[in-house]
Amino acid sequence: MIITCPNCNKQFKIDNSLIPNEGRDLQCGSCNHVWFYKIDNENDKILKLNDEISSKGIEAKVEQKEEKIEEKKQEFERINTKINNEKENIVENQKNNSVSENTANNGIKFFSYLIVFIISFVALIIFLDTLKTPIINVFPGLEIILFNLFETLQDIKLFIIDLI
What are the tens digits of pLDDT across the range 123-151? 998 898 899 889 889 988 888 988 898 89
**pTM, rounded to two decimals:** 0.34
**Residue 44, pLDDT above cutoff 70:** no
pLDDT tens column, 50-59: 555 566 667 7
At 115, the pLDDT band (50, 70, 90 cuts) reads very high
Domain boundaries, the chain: 2-43, 61-114
Say yes or no to pLDDT of 45 above 60: no
Residue 11 to residue 26: CA distance in whole angstroms: 12
What's the confidence (pLDDT) of residue 100?
Answer: 60
* pLDDT(30) > 80: yes
